[in-house]
Amino acid sequence: MNDIQIHSKITLMEIDVLQALYQRTLEKYTAGPSIDRARLFFLLLPFFDGKQWSEDVEDSAKTVAIVYAALQAHDQVKEESPISKSQQLTVLAGDFYSGIYYQMLSNTNNIKLIQLLASGIIGVSEKKATLFEKTAMSANDVESAAEVIETRLLTIFYDHYGYSHYKGIAVPAMKYVYYSNQLDYLRDGVETNILRKLNMALPFPLYSERWILDKLDSLHIELTKALDIHPMDYRLKNFMLHQITPHQHLAEQLTREG
């Protein structure tokens, strides 16, 4: 499968998810659903790698993408007094998206996956809640929270359908994408909950950038080693390394330190 085919499949799923979540009022007054193409890639990774992929699996992958969109919508709610109309509708958007994914799973009678995702959502929500607390966390705890938030739902999907062997690739890759985004936020002066906790955990706020750069390097090494031993088509490996997790951060770090 070449790059164009991979991009096309991701785009088709993105369109399907956006259509499933479309609601005219929410579209008008909120930012709309957040659909991360990197997450879609890893949800589709078994398909790209030629594994058995039924309509039921496809629908479940779309459902997990909708769960991510619902959780992301709730993250967009800010503490405001009084709460604005846009904020109220953003809360409703998250609830609306939640209802959609339960409906989709119910239509397939996939009760087991509903139970597994419900448990996963609780775990993700608990980790997100710790990031809102004012108490300090260690850097290791921050990393643990980030991993649960970004990968728990995907690994549930993999385990349920017998794709567990992809976790060694997908987990470090998704964490890599997450920290790469956090690095962009940091450099743009945007303080996310993760960055705030990381700044509290490290001796000086300026250490956060170095910590993230080091984390990106170690994750890229972990991902490269996992891909080296996985019998995956080289074109798919190249797509992942160059399109999903392009690694320029080590060179950036050396340049900044030089």
Angle between helix 3-21 and helix 55-75 axes, rounded to 10 deg: 60
Instruction: Calculate the alpha carbon distances from 99 to 44, 91, 102, 110, 159 in Å.
Output: 23, 13, 5, 15, 24
- Number of domains making up the chain: 1
Please report the pLDDT score of residue 193 as a whole number: 87
Q: How far apart are CA 31 and CA 54, in angstroms?
A: 32
The reported pTM is 0.85
Kindly report the CATH number assigned to the domain that includes residue 120.
Answer: 1.10.600.10
Average pLDDT per run of 10 along the chain, which is 258 residues long? 95 90 58 80 97 93 86 54 46 52 68 86 86 88 95 97 97 96 93 91 85 95 95 94 81 44
Q: Per this entry, what is the length of the chain? A: 258
How many CB atoms within 10 Å of residue 31?
Answer: 13
Owner of token pair 């904020």: 87
